[in-house]
Structure 1
Amino acid sequence: MSTQENVQIVKHFFAAMARSDKPGLQALSAEDIEWIIPGEGWPLAGTHRGHQGLEDLLQKACEMETSFPDPTEFVAQGDRVLMVGFVTEKVKATNRTFEDHFVFAVIVRNGKVTNIREYIDTQALARSSVIARAVGAN
């Protein structure tokens, strides 16, 4: 597939994610997809594998409200597409917000998303996911 076709597949994949479109996500992803989100101490961290892992991740993502205030940039070479952007999110359970500049490194092979590796501010996400335990804690 061409580089531009790979970019379109990634755009469609994340549009399906935003709509919580499970059949659309499965159609655009390989059965053995691997999505790596670094960090610990927040709901989305970990390595998510296969369509079931993708579905579990989608369910956890519903625990957050996301806003993309700036257009996302896509940079592609061969089967790799980098999605570069800025996001504002709120963790519903804690009602805490955070801002994050991110890069998603996405591999597309044979018309399917096969691997996603996120590069994000894991500390901001973890801080927003922790419920304050002490009076006056932020």
Structure 2
Amino acid sequence: MSNIDVIKRLYQAFSEGDIDSVSALLDPSIEWIESDGIPYGGVFKGYEAVLNGVFAKIGAEWDNFTAHVDEFIDAGDIVVTLGTDSATYKATGKKMIAPTASIWTLKNGKVVKFRQYIDTLAVVNAIE
């Protein structure tokens, strides 16, 4: 499987709520960096930290979360994705549509590092 195939499979697993497949594609010691300025902003080290600090919170606080990718860019051990995240924040009922760019670093078919760039204002506007 190519690195782009790994990332496409990862997005498919996210969309299906298949957390077992997600965990199989992420290195157990992954470094996950969310954009500062959003509730989950910061650096998470290790799969359990990502699961509890990012995935569980998004699932608990947002309805219909979707990460749509418009473009996959192959840069060898790095894959860049460009797209849009959308969801409705449960506490406010406000919808968020935010352009995103993500940088995925892979080694031996697993994601070892993720860095997100998102329109933080779009996220904040939905939660306030």
The answer on whether the counterparts of 1:81 and 1:105 sit within 8 Å (CA) in structure 2 is: yes
Q: What letter is aligned with 1:77?
A: A
Normalization by structure 1: what TM-score?
0.80
* Counterparts of residues 60-79 of structure 1 (less than 5 Å): 60-62=57-59, 63-64=61-62, 65-67=64-66, 72-79=70-77
Cα displacement string for residues 37-67 of structure 1 (whole angstroms, at most 9, x for unaligned residues): 1123x43222222110221121112122224
SS of structure 1 residue aligned to 2:39: coil
TM-aligned CA deviation for residue 95 of structure 1: 0.9
Mapped partners of 1:67, 1:52: distance in 2: 22
Does the C-alpha gap of structure 1 residues 21 and 54 become closer, same or farther in structure 2, counting only changes over 3 Å?
farther
Q: Is residue 10 of structure 1 aligned with residue 10 of structure 2? A: no
Per-residue deviation, 1:71: 5.3
When residues 18 and 127 of structure 1 are mapped into structure 2, their CA distance, relative to the original with a 3 A threshold, is: same
Over the matched positions of the two proteins, sequence identity in percent amounts to: 27
What is the DSSP-based 3-state SS (H/G/I as helix, E as strand, rest coil) of the residue aligned with 2:2? Answer: helix
Selected match of 1:35 from 32, 37, 62: 32
Unaligned runs of 5+ in 1: 131-138
Q: Deviations over 1:50-89 (max 9, x none)?
A: 1102211211121222246x65210011101011112332
Q: Does 1:48 align with 2:44?
A: yes
Q: TM-score, normalised by structure 2?
A: 0.86
Corresponding residue for 1:115? Answer: 113
Q: Name the CA distance, whole Å, in 2 between partners of 1:60 and 1:106.
A: 21
- What amino acid does structure 2 have at the position aligned with 1:24? S
Query: Which of residues 19, 24, 30 in structure 1 aligns to 2:21?
Result: 24
Instruction: Give SS of 1:11's match.
Output: helix
Moved over 3 A (4+): none
Indicate how the Cα distance of structure 1 residues 59 and 74 shifts in structure 2: closer, same or farther if over 3 A, else same: same
Larger Rg: 1 or 2?
1
Secondary structure of the structure 2 residue equivalent to 1:44? coil
